[in-house]
Structure formats: structure tokens, C-alpha cells
Amino acid sequence: MAAETAAAEARAKPRKIGVVKSDRMKKTITVVVERLVKHPLYKKYVRERTVLRAHDENNEAKVGSVVEVEFSRPLSKTKRWNLVRVIRPAEGAQP
């Protein structure tokens, strides 16, 4: 049993938390993930952004929502992530 759980944890798919930037496409959202990276020369922290396209089967995420996405097989030319859950709905969004 312990070996099975260890193997499952080793195969865990990467997950990221970000903010929905666009929900205009059907069943697709654009998620922006921000992170702080230390500049190699100036040693200051710089904010870097990664833009991801994620599959949203039920169109539940709206612009401004904080969401968790998980890496998956290629779903289209640019879509490689699946929506796992909406952590915090957008301000003023209907539940």
C-alpha cells in the first residue's frame, strides 16, 4: 500500500494557481500565473508572468477568479491545462 501511494505521489501532475484573464472562448480560459524571480545581476526580485490556456468544461471560471489548474495531455494547439477548481470566485460573480 505504501509503495502505491509513493508511486502515485511521484507521478503527480504539476498544478499552478493563477488569476483568470479571459473567459471569452467556449470551454477555455486564459490563466495568468505570477511568480517572483531574483534577478541574477541586480539581486532584486522581478515579477514574471506565465500565460496558460486551460480547459473549463462547465464554463464556471469568470474573469478575475483565482483558480487551480493541472497539467494534462495536449487538448489543442495551445491548451495543455485543465481547470481543477475555482479557489475564489470573481468579485460580483454569481455563485
Identify whether 4 is part of a domain. Answer: no
What pLDDT does residue 29 have? 98
Identify whether 47 is part of a domain. Answer: yes
The number of distinct structural domains making up the chain is 1
More confident residue, 75 or 6: 75
pLDDT tens digits for range 58-71: 999 999 999 999 99
> What average pLDDT is seen over the chain?
92
Give the CATH number, domain containing residue 61.
Answer: 2.40.50.140
Domain membership of residue 19 as a residue range: 10-88
Identify whether 51 is part of a domain. Answer: yes
Identify whether 27 is part of a domain. Answer: yes
Identify whether 95 is part of a domain. Answer: no
The CA distances from residue 52 to 14, 29, 74, in Å, are: 13, 8, 12
Identify whether 94 is part of a domain. Answer: no
